[in-house]
């Protein structure tokens, strides 16, 4: 063996060892996450099947692509059924109940007398209706079942959007539309994630505009479990919810996983290259969902829930033919799409 070959071998061995060590470390992390947080949804055979999606189309060696794919998967934030229930309690307490108590106290001389406060709070809750964003098959509405349970609310506190306005026959034979229950003075819309903010804005422009046209003085609120800062700001500025819009967990730009501020790219293991991570996500993301390589409206999220994976998350995580992927793809976490929507 030549001297040059000897030197090359010596220089390459540590790098190869580091790559193997990093791969094993990422696989160990994924195994622990699956056992403790991911509710057993991504076992080792599925991980291997998912890794087979990455077949060298970026021009990098297949093993290098799959190593970087493992890194993305190891960073995935998953919120299981228990965490979702806790967040729903937090939403009710922090975003609805605490401001309500503060408002009632301010209107009653800052009293702390429970004999005064409790009846007023109960009356206000009884005149509030909680609704989900979207139709009954969508995730915002799905969450209301657990929201009612966790916060010990009455079934009467909940409405389907179709029950807000009713049709009334007039004496002349015509039909008028009116607010079904004029005693309701607050409508609270609950959602799981506010990514781009577009869904809440569209809902506001349709349903809430209809309410306002019928002289409703009711207050409209939009509360989400998770929301990007940009999405929440967009809803505040472009919808009838106005400032009555908040998220339990607001995600700043550091959660945009491909951005220069990305928290996922600040410190990476040995053998992981930030440039390759970005290229991998965008190249395959474009194959899966053309025009939305970084998730819907380039949200660049990397999280999902017990009940679904939002389309704001990188498509390499959830893409498959069943939800509109334009390339054959095996998902790590499933996404259940709205037929006729984005995917």
Residues 179, 227: one domain? yes
3-state DSSP assignment of residue 318 = helix
Measured between alpha carbons, how far is 311 from 298 in angstroms, rounded to an integer? 10
Where residue 135 sits, what CATH number does that domain have? 3.40.50
What is the structure's pLDDT at 139?
65
Measured between alpha carbons, how far is 144 from 63 in angstroms, rounded to an integer? 44
How many other CB atoms sit within 10 Å of the CB of residue 226? Answer: 25
What is the structure's pLDDT at 276?
98
Spatial neighbors of 110 by CB under 8 A, at least 6 apart, are none
Residue 264 belongs to a domain: no
Residue 137 belongs to a domain: yes
Residue 331 belongs to a domain: no
The whole-number average pLDDT for the span 235-259 is 95
How does residue 12 score in pLDDT terms, banded at 50, 70 and 90?
very low
Residue 260 belongs to a domain: no
321-to-89, 192, 315, 330 alpha-carbon distances in Å: 36, 24, 12, 9
Residues 201, 91: one domain? yes
Residue 30 belongs to a domain: yes
How does residue 14 score in pLDDT terms, banded at 50, 70 and 90?
low
Measured between alpha carbons, how far is 259 from 230 in angstroms, rounded to an integer? 14
Residues 26, 68: one domain? yes
Measured between alpha carbons, how far is 267 from 65 in angstroms, rounded to an integer? 19
How does residue 93 score in pLDDT terms, banded at 50, 70 and 90?
very high
162-to-80, 244, 285 alpha-carbon distances in Å: 30, 22, 37
Residues 135, 176: one domain? yes
Residue 87 belongs to a domain: yes
Domain around 8: 3-75+270-323
Is residue 343 pLDDT above 50, yes or no?
Answer: no
Residues 100, 15: one domain? no
Q: Say whether pTM exceeds 0.85.
A: yes
């Amino acid at each position: 063996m030549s001297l040059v070959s000897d030197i090359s071998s010596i220089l390459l061995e540590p790098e190869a060892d580091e790559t193997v060590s990093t791969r094993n470390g990422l696989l160990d992390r994924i195994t622990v996450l699956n056992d403790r947080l991911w509710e057993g949804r991504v076992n080792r055979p599925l991980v291997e099947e998912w890794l087979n999606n990455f077949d060298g189309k970026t021009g990098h060696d297949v093993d290098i692509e799959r190593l970087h794919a493992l890194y993305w998967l190891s960073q995935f934030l998953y919120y299981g059924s228990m965490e979702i229930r806790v967040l729903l309690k937090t939403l009710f307490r922090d975003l609805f109940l605490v401001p309500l108590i503060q408002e009632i106290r301010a209107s009653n001389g800052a009293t702390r007398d429970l004999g005064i406060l409790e009846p007023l709070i109960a009356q206000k809750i009884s005149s509030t209706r909680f609704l989900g964003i979207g139709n009954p098959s969508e995730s915002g509405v799905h969450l209301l079942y657990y929201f009612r349970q966790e916060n010990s609310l009455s079934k009467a506190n909940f409405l389907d959007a179709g029950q807000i306005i009713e049709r009334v026959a007039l004496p002349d034979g015509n039909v008028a539309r009116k607010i079904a229950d004029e005693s309701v003075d607050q409508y609270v819309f609950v959602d799981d994630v506010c990514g781009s903010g577009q869904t809440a804005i569209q809902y506001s422009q349709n349903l809430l505009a209809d309410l306002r046209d019928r002289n409703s003085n009711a207050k409209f609120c939009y509360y989400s479990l998770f929301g990007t800062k940009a999405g929440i700001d967009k809803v505040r500025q472009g919808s009838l919810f106005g400032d009555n819009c908040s998220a339990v967990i607001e995600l700043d730009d550091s959660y945009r996983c491909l951005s220069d501020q990305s928290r996922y790219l600040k410190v990476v293991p040995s053998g992981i290259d930030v440039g390759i991570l970005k290229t991998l996500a965008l190249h395959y993301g474009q194959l899966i969902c053309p025009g939305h390589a970084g998730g819907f409206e380039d949200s660049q999220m990397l999280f999902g829930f017990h009940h679904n994976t939002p389309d704001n998350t990188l498509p390499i995580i959830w893409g498959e033919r069943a939800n509109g992927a334009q390339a054959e793809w095996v998902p790590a976490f499933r996404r259940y799409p709205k037929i006729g929507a984005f995917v």
